[in-house]
């Protein structure tokens, strides 16, 4: 079964073609700088790689280019030959609690949700609309970044604001990075030879965007990102948790407009804001005070979330590190896990230095894993599941 996963961003398209259920990657394409003069595209299949520098004016042209490349390399003649096209959609609001087959009603809902995620959902929707036009007979599936966190209880997702603010404006914690948290949770459970339902975990997605998730018996019960991906951990350019009164002060007293505050919190804060770089590899090599402080701030924030999630969950079977920083920075992991022995975490320093899969000692009550995230594969797997269920419903309807 051939499933294409499309992640359509504001100026880029990431495309991955899987053979399922094996999860083998048949082709990978990245079209960047759509609409700009210097569009650059990368196409990979097997062990071959092609770089294409041709102007890609629109998302439609981007998908057309990918289709041409697939045809030229005899991977797929046309999108209509695919068994399914799966789309990453950032915001599913309260409407989508799992992946769904896309129909007109789903499209309307995703449109409504543009209000909650203007940068992302609009671009995601564009990918869906173009793919539906290109391959109207192929099932299209939407997989939402928020869906994994739809199991959070009310006390986790509500902010302590007047209840009508939630009712009227849907202001609540939604959480993001759901496909990544879900993927690494399942992989860790496989390593422990247990069902996720038998396990409590804290998953730490630490990259340019970072979030922590408290998982109880296989479901998300709390997460650090909130109404938007700005809340929670300190990130590459995002501030994470701050006193919300700061935003008011900046506007009242420091001459900031709404857009200035937005740019400050989302694009100029985090590691970049404190020490001038978003690249942890570079920051770790530096010797200046602010770079050291930025790392300590990041570590401290992660520790605080681990501690609070441990208190919430009561017992924890595994801690899982993932994403660019979580998978690669052994020094940051070591700092985060320092002095956690009292909570049942014993780090195997050598395994940690090697970026091994299991980095806790045998005697450690809580297992600590480093697991490479694979959001595209998780999207393909969830889509396969949707297809399987749809097929079952379809078969059952035939016999009614």
* Cβ-based nearer residue to ligand AMP, 317 or 376: 376
Catalytic positions are 145
Classify the phi-psi angles of 150: left when phi > 0, otherwise alpha if psi is within -120 to 50, otherwise beta: alpha
Phi, psi of 53 (to 5 degrees): -115, 90
Q: In angstroms, rounded to a whole number, what is the distance separating the alpha carbons of residues 146 and 152?
A: 11
* Cβ-based nearer residue to ligand AMP, 64 or 292: 292
User: Which whole-number Å values give the CA distances from 219 to 78, 195, 226, 374, in the listed order?
Assistant: 38, 12, 17, 19
User: Which whole-number Å values give the CA distances from 210 to 50, 58, 330, 383, in the listed order?
Assistant: 31, 30, 17, 25
Q: Contact with ligand AMP (CB under 6 A): which of 76, 116, 320, 323?
A: 323
Q: In angstroms, rounded to a whole number, what is the distance separating the alpha carbons of residues 5 and 19?
A: 11
Tell me which DSSP letter residue 61 carries. Answer: H
Q: Work out whether 92 is an interface residue with ligand AMP (CB under 6 A).
A: no
State the minimum distance, in angstroms, from the CB of residue 15 to ligand AMP: 18
* Cβ-based nearer residue to ligand AMP, 182 or 329: 329
Q: Are 84 and 3 in contact (CB under 8 A)?
A: yes
Q: Note the Cα 223 to chain centre separation in Å.
A: 12
* Cβ-based nearer residue to ligand AMP, 295 or 340: 295
**Nearest Cα to Cα of residue 182 among 153, 211, 159, 141:** 211
# residues near ligand AMP by CB under 6 A: 12
- From the list 40-48, 129-137, 297-305, 320-328, the region that binds ligand AMP by CB under 6 A is 320-328
Q: In angstroms, rounded to a whole number, what is the distance separating the alpha carbons of residues 9 and 88?
A: 9
Q: Work out whether 279 is an interface residue with ligand AMP (CB under 6 A).
A: yes
Strand partners, 7: 14
Q: Work out whether 324 is an interface residue with ligand AMP (CB under 6 A).
A: yes
- From the list 37-45, 169-177, 290-298, 319-327, the region that binds ligand AMP by CB under 6 A is 319-327
Sign of the C-alpha dihedral computed for residues 53, 54, 56 and 57 taken in this order: positive
State the minimum distance, in angstroms, from the CB of residue 283 to ligand AMP: 8
Q: Contact with ligand AMP (CB under 6 A): which of 106, 129, 265, 280?
A: 280
State the minimum distance, in angstroms, from the CB of residue 278 to ligand AMP: 6
**Contact letters for ligand AMP, residues 7-46 (x by CB under 6 A):** ----------------------------------------
* Cβ-based nearer residue to ligand AMP, 272 or 387: 272
State the minimum distance, in angstroms, from the CB of residue 282 to ligand AMP: 7
Phi, psi of 337 (to 5 degrees): -90, 0
Q: Contact with ligand AMP (CB under 6 A): which of 93, 196, 229, 236?
A: 236
Our CA angle for 179, 226, 206, nearest 5°, is 55
For the segment 194-233, give every residue that binds ligand AMP (CB under 6 A). 207-208
Helix (H, G, I), strand (E, B) or coil at 19: strand
* Cβ-based nearer residue to ligand AMP, 39 or 328: 328
* Strand arrangement of the beta sheet that strand 367-370 belongs to: 219-223, 210-216, 200-206, 318-322, 367-370
Q: Contact with ligand AMP (CB under 6 A): which of 202, 214, 230, 325?
A: 325
- From the list 120-128, 149-157, 273-281, 379-387, the region that binds ligand AMP by CB under 6 A is 273-281
* Cβ-based nearer residue to ligand AMP, 237 or 251: 237
Q: Are 221 and 214 in contact (CB under 8 A)?
A: yes
Which residue's Cβ has the minimum distance to ligand AMP? 324
- Binding residues for ligand AMP, rule: CB under 6 A, are 207-208, 236, 278-281, 323-325, 328-329
């Amino acid at each position: 079964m051939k499933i294409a996963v499309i992640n359509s961003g504001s100026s880029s398209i990431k495309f991955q073609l899987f053979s399922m259920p094996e999860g083998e990657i048949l082709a990978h394409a990245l079209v960047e700088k759509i609409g700009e003069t210097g569009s650059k595209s990368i196409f990979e299949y097997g062990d071959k790689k092609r770089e294409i520098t041709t102007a890609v004016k629109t998302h439609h042209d981007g998908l057309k280019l990918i289709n041409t490349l697939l045809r030229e390399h005899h991977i797929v003649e046309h999108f209509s030959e695919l068994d399914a096209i799966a789309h990453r959609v950032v915001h599913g609001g309260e409407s989508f609690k799992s992946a769904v087959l896309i129909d007109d009603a789903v499209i309307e809902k995703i449109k409504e949700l543009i209000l909650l995620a203007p940068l992302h959902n609009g671009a995601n929707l564009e990918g869906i609309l173009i793919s539906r036009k290109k391959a109207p007979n192929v099932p299209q599936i939407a997989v939402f970044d928020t869906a994994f966190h739809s199991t959070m209880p009310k006390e986790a997702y509500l902010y302590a604001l007047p209840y009508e603010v939630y009712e009227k404006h849907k202001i609540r914690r939604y959480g993001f990075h759901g496909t990544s948290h879900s993927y690494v949770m399942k992989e860790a459970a496989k390593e422990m030879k247990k069902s996720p339902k038998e396990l409590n975990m804290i998953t730490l997605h630490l990259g340019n965007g970072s979030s922590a998730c408290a998982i109880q018996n296989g479901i998300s019960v709390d997460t650090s990102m909130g109404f938007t991906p700005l809340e929670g951990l300190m990130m590459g350019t995002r501030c994470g948790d701050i006193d919300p009164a700061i935003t008011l002060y900046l506007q009242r007293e420091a001459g900031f407009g709404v857009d200035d505050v937005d740019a400050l919190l989302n694009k100029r804060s985090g590691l970049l804001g404190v020490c001038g770089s978003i690249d942890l590899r570079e920051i770790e090599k530096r010797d200046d005070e602010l770079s050291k402080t930025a790392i300590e701030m990041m570590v401290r924030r992660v520790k605080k979330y681990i501690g609070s999630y441990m208190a919430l969950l009561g017992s924890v079977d595994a801690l899982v590190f993932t994403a660019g920083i979580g998978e690669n920075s052994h020094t940051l992991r070591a700092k985060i896990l320092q002095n956690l022995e009292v909570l049942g975490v014993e780090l195997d320093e050598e395994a940690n230095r090697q970026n091994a899969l299991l980095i806790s000692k045998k005697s450690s009550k809580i297992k600590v894993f480093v697991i490479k995230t694979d959001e595209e594969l998780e999207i393909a797997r969830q889509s396969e599941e949707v297809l399987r269920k749809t097929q079952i419903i379809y078969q059952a309807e035939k016999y009614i």
